[in-house]
Amino acid sequence: MKPVLIFAQVLSAISICWAQSPNPQARVDAEYYVASYAHYYKVPVALVRAIVERESNWEPCVVSPKGAVGLMQLMPVTARRLGVRDRCNLEQNISGGVRYLAWLMRLFHNDLRLVVAAYYAGEDVIGRRTLAYRNPDVFTYVARIRTAYLRETRVNPRTTNTSSERDVR
């Protein structure tokens, strides 16, 4: 993809996000969608919460320098693949992000270390190299998600809603 096109997509996403006024109900709505979609797709709520916390700090329409948008920081290609039309829409963003996590969990046989690494770096890279992938940014990301995940499960043990996932280690 050409840099000009990526830049245009980022500018477009930023302008859409700025047009939306802050909504005090947004966090409550986001929490509802996180729990609902996590339970529906059988993804640990604690994992989704940890990713949202790390990716966007619960800001509904944050845009990354690489062009990822929304609570779950969906890239344009991933969003299109998941049928997400508006990455700033709370429900669409969370639904797409959780569906992506569920798909990654099936792909990586519920190994949450690989799921989280693939969420960050892409499933192709992690799929080819699994834990042999030695990018320090990926290890840092997985470690931070693990910390948030474990903190969430200690605070609210019911946020792990699947019995088959392997711990993020």
Q: What is the pLDDT of residues 7-55, one digit of tens each?
A: 444 444 444 444 444 567 889 999 999 999 999 999 999 999 999 999 9
Which DSSP state fits 163?
A: S
Q: What is the mean pLDDT of residues 143-169?
A: 74
**Residue 1 in this model has a pLDDT that exceeds 70:** no
Active-site residue flag, 53: no
Count of domains for the chain: 1
Confidence of residue 159 (pLDDT cuts 50, 70, 90): low
Question: Is 117 within a domain?
Answer: yes
Question: Is 55 within a domain?
Answer: yes
Q: What is the mean pLDDT of residues 108-124?
A: 94
Please give the C-alpha separations between residue 66 and each of 76, 130, 162, in angstroms, as whole numbers. 10, 23, 32
Question: Is 27 within a domain?
Answer: yes
d(CA 58, CA 81): 23
Q: Half-sphere exposure of residue 125, counting CA atoms within 13 Å on the CB side?
A: 11
Question: Is 167 within a domain?
Answer: no
Beta bridge partners of 140: none
Question: Is 73 within a domain?
Answer: yes
**Residue 163 in this model has a pLDDT that exceeds 90:** no
Catalytic residue among 31, 55, 59, 152: 55
**Residue 104 in this model has a pLDDT that exceeds 70:** yes
Question: Is 168 within a domain?
Answer: no
Residue 22, pLDDT score? 56
Q: If you average pLDDT over every residue of the chain, what do you get?
A: 84
d(CA 11, CA 95): 24
| Residue span of the structural domain in which 48 resides | 3-159
Residue 128, pLDDT score? 83
Burial category of 3 from C-beta neighbours within 10 Å (exposed 0-12, middle 13-18, buried 19 and up): exposed
Question: Is 82 within a domain?
Answer: yes
Tokens standing for residue 90: 């709370």
**CATH number for the domain harbouring residue 28:** 1.10.530.10
Closest CA to 90 of 148, 43, 28, 39: 28
